[in-house]
């Protein structure tokens, strides 16, 4: 089978065959959240996108080291001297210790991301725990002559860098255009040039998040943590760097510049960027204030939500779009995903009901190839899901007796569903998970179903319907099948 994975590399703007630097091993770095607010639907997208990548690479038998950072130092609120550390600001508002705020939102992030069945990364480094490493990177950049100190702060000299290296290789920006379009800042700037960016910022007196350095008591600049931590855990050059498209410029561009100077080589071989989730056609984001938190999705407690949506519904919804496309939030789409997922789940749980025949007249091997082809084409999860729905149709047809399958093909079909739906897409199709039922409840339900069955045998339709309808009122759906009735919670 073809297991040649092609991924879209932002550097080349083309799909490229993935070839790891070290055979059999993959170093993957993904920009994690800035923990100063509740995790929202936008945070779920990269988490799930790169979870899919991590799971698929693992399935392909690569040994993956997946590093996803926690940004807890806080980026600058605004440029220039009036810049204020975002986390410190929030802390003052809440009258909490900065690290208390950070811990709270880190826990919250873990809690909700875990509910989405996202596997934990191999290493989850915090920026605040790597101040020393960041200072080391700054020193090396100063030593190589691409940074200067100014009033206790250190800035990266973009124009000088651009003379020797291609600044803008990732984002496709040209420095001439940037020069013409740089905002004019009020007041005096410590920077020699508007394009320069901070590697170290001297902390203002009221600034409570601060660390000592040879330049000043302060804090590391916006983009430094990823350069420092990717180097520490994945080496100077690693395979894949991921993150949201909104980080492409300036964050990732600056990261490349820093790492390139510091290490003398470009950091990542492949850059992958997930697109945004939109709401009413606009990006869902913290700064726009139009985000819906994951907690609100799971509880339904938001004006825009017609109902609560389970974590698996949210995950499935996100996977139904290819990661490089924008995905528009909407209740209709969520509910369509919910129903589709339910159908997929039901078929998966009915695999054991499929009768085995001598001969197969279904082509399971072809299905498997198609599933791999979908993922190999830049993780095209919607295509994969389409193929899984073909499998659903096959499963249902097999149970209905329209087609037949032999033992070997059935085993293959089961492994396809397990591998692609459960292991790679990371869907939890366990009926207990979906409905929250337990064994005792099932015993009670079986009793009621037996009573209804008896009533039907006696043609006591009134009683039979009463049981069904009353259960429906309580949120249980009864499904009559060839070999008896089953139930589920709606």
Partner RNA sequence: GGUUCCUUGGCCGAGUGGCUUAGGCACUGGUCUGCAAAACCAGUUACGGCGGUUCGAAUCCGCCAGGAACCUCCA
Q: Does residue 84 belong to the site contacting RNA (CB under 7 A)?
A: no
- Return the number of other C-beta atoms located less than 10 Å from residue 50's C-beta: 27
Q: Does residue 464 belong to the site contacting RNA (CB under 7 A)?
A: yes
Q: Does residue 286 belong to the site contacting RNA (CB under 7 A)?
A: yes
Tell the smallest beta-carbon distance from residue 413 to RNA (Å): 14
Task: Name residues contacting RNA, limited to 369-388 (CB under 7 A).
Answer: 377, 380, 382-383, 385-386
Tell the smallest beta-carbon distance from residue 442 to RNA (Å): 18
Considering only 111, 326, 450, 458, the residue that binds RNA (CB under 7 A) is 326
Query: Which residue number, 62 or 292, has a Cβ lying nearer to RNA?
Result: 292
Q: Does residue 251 belong to the site contacting RNA (CB under 7 A)?
A: yes
CB under 7 A: which stretch of 52-60, 180-188, 409-417, 426-434 binds RNA?
180-188
Query: Which residue number, 43 or 160, has a Cβ lying nearer to RNA?
Result: 43
Q: How far is CA 431 from the centre of its chain?
A: 24
Query: Which residue number, 261 or 385, has a Cβ lying nearer to RNA?
Result: 385
Q: In Å, how far are 32, 302, 323, 345 from 66, measured between CA atoms?
A: 12, 34, 18, 29
CB under 7 A: which stretch of 58-66, 118-126, 172-180, 442-450 binds RNA?
172-180
Q: Does residue 187 belong to the site contacting RNA (CB under 7 A)?
A: no
- Given a contact cutoff of 8 angstroms between Cβ atoms, the answer to whether 229 and 193 are in contact is no
Q: Does residue 11 belong to the site contacting RNA (CB under 7 A)?
A: no
Task: Name residues contacting RNA, limited to 194-233 (CB under 7 A).
Answer: 222
Tell the smallest beta-carbon distance from residue 388 to RNA (Å): 8
Q: Does residue 143 belong to the site contacting RNA (CB under 7 A)?
A: no
Q: Does residue 281 belong to the site contacting RNA (CB under 7 A)?
A: yes
Query: Which residue number, 84 or 423, has a Cβ lying nearer to RNA?
Result: 84
3-state secondary structure the chain: CCCCCEEEECCCCEEEECCCCCCCEEEEEECCCECCCCCEHHHHHHHHHHHHHHHHHHHCCCEEEEEECEECCCCECCCCCCCCEHHHHHHHHHCCCHHHHHHHHHHHHHHHHHHCCCCCCCECCEHHHHHHHHHHHHHHHHHCCCEEEECCEEEECHHHHHHHCCCCCCCCCCHHHHHHHCCCCCCCCCCCCCCCEEEEEECCCCCCCCECCCCCCEEECCCHHHHHHHHHHHCCCEEEEEEEHHHHHHHHHHHHHHHHHHHCCCCEEEEEEECCEEECCEECCCCCCCCCEHHHHHHCCCCCCCCCCCHHHHHHHHHCCCCCCCEECCHHHHHHHHHHHHHHHHHHHCHHHCCCCCCCCCCHHHHHHHHHHHHHECCCHHHHHHHHHHHHHHHHHHHHCCCCCCHHHHHHHHHHHHHHHHHHCCCCCCHHHHHCCCHHHHHHHHHHHHHHHHHHHCCCHHHHHHHHHHHHHCCEEEEEECCEEEEEEC
Query: Which residue number, 232 or 324, has a Cβ lying nearer to RNA?
Result: 324
Query: Which residue number, 169 or 422, has a Cβ lying nearer to RNA?
Result: 169
Query: What mask of x and - would describe binding to RNA in positions 416 to 455, judged by CB under 7 A?
Result: ----------------------------------------
Task: Name residues contacting RNA, limited to 388-417 (CB under 7 A).
Answer: 389-390, 392-393, 396-397, 399-400, 402
Tell the smallest beta-carbon distance from residue 253 to RNA (Å): 9
Task: Name residues contacting RNA, limited to 465-484 (CB under 7 A).
Answer: 465, 468, 477-481
Query: Which residue number, 141 or 354, has a Cβ lying nearer to RNA?
Result: 354
Query: What mask of x and - would describe binding to RNA in positions 36 to 75, judged by CB under 7 A?
Result: -x---xxx-xx------------------------x---x
Considering only 65, 346, 425, 427, the residue that binds RNA (CB under 7 A) is 346
Considering only 95, 206, 332, 439, the residue that binds RNA (CB under 7 A) is 332
Distance CA(479)–CA(234), nearest Å, equals: 52
Tell the smallest beta-carbon distance from residue 24 to RNA (Å): 28
Task: Name residues contacting RNA, limited to 230-249 (CB under 7 A).
Answer: 243-249
Q: Does residue 102 belong to the site contacting RNA (CB under 7 A)?
A: no
Q: Does residue 189 belong to the site contacting RNA (CB under 7 A)?
A: no
């Amino acid at each position: 089978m073809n297991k040649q994975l092609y991924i879209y590399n932002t550097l080349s703007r083309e799909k490229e065959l993935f070839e790891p630097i070290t055979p059999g091993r993959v170093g993957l770095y993904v920009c994690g959240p800035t923990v100063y607010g509740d995790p929202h639907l936008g945070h779920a997208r990269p988490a799930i996108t790169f979870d899919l990548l991590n799971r698929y690479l693992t399935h392909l038998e690569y040994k993956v080291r997946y590093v996803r950072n926690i940004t807890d130092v806080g980026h600058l609120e605004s440029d220039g001297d009036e810049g204020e550390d975002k986390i410190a600001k929030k802390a003052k508002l809440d009258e909490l210790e900065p690290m208390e705020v950070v811990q709270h939102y880190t826990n919250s992030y873990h809690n909700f991301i875990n509910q989405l069945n996202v596997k934990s990364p191999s290493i989850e480094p915090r920026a605040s725990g790597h101040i020393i490493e960041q200072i080391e990177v700054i020193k090396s950049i100063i030593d190589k002559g691409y940074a200067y100190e100014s009033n206790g702060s250190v800035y990266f000299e973009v124009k000088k860098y651009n003379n020797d290296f291609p600044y803008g290789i990732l984002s496709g920006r040209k420095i001439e255009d940037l020069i013409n379009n740089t905002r004019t800042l009020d007041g005096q700037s410590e920077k020699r040039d508007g394009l320069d960016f901070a590697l170290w910022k001297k902390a203002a007196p009221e600034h409570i998040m601060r660390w000592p350095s040879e330049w000043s008591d302060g804090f590391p600049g916006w983009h430094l943590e990823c350069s420092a931590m990717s180097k520490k855990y994945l080496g100077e050059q690693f395979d894949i760097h991921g993150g949201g498209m909104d980080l492409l410029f300036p964050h990732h561009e600056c990261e490349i510049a820093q790492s390139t100077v510091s290490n003398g080589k470009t950091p990542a071989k492949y850059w992958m960027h997930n697109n945004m989730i939109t709401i009413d056609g606009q990006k869902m984001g913290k700064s726009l204030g139009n985000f819906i938190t994951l907690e609100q999705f799971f509880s339904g407690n938001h004006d825009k939500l017609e109902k609560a949506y389970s974590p698996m519904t949210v995950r499935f919804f996100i996977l139904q779009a290819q990661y490089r496309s924008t995905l528009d939030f909407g209740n209709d789409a969520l509910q369509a995903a919910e129903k589709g997922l339910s159908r997929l789940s039901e078929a998966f749980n009915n695999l054991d009901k499929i009768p085995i025949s001598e001969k197969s007249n279904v082509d399971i091997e072809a299905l498997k190839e198609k599933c791999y082809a979908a993922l190999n084409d830049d993780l095209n999860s919607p295509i994969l899901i389409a193929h899984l729905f073909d499998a659903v149709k096959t499963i249902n047809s097999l149970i209905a007796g329209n087609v037949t399958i032999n033992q070997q093909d059935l085993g293959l079909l089961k492994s396809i569903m397990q591998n692609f739906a459960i292991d790679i897409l990371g869907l939890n199709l366990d009926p207990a998970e979906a409905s929250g039922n337990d064994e005792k409840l099932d015993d009670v339900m079986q009793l009621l179903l037996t009573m209804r069955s008896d009533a039907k045998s006696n043609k006591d339709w009134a009683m039979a319907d009463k049981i069904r309808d009353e259960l429906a009122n309580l949120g249980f759906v009864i499904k009559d099948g060839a070999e008896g009735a089953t139930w589920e919670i709606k």
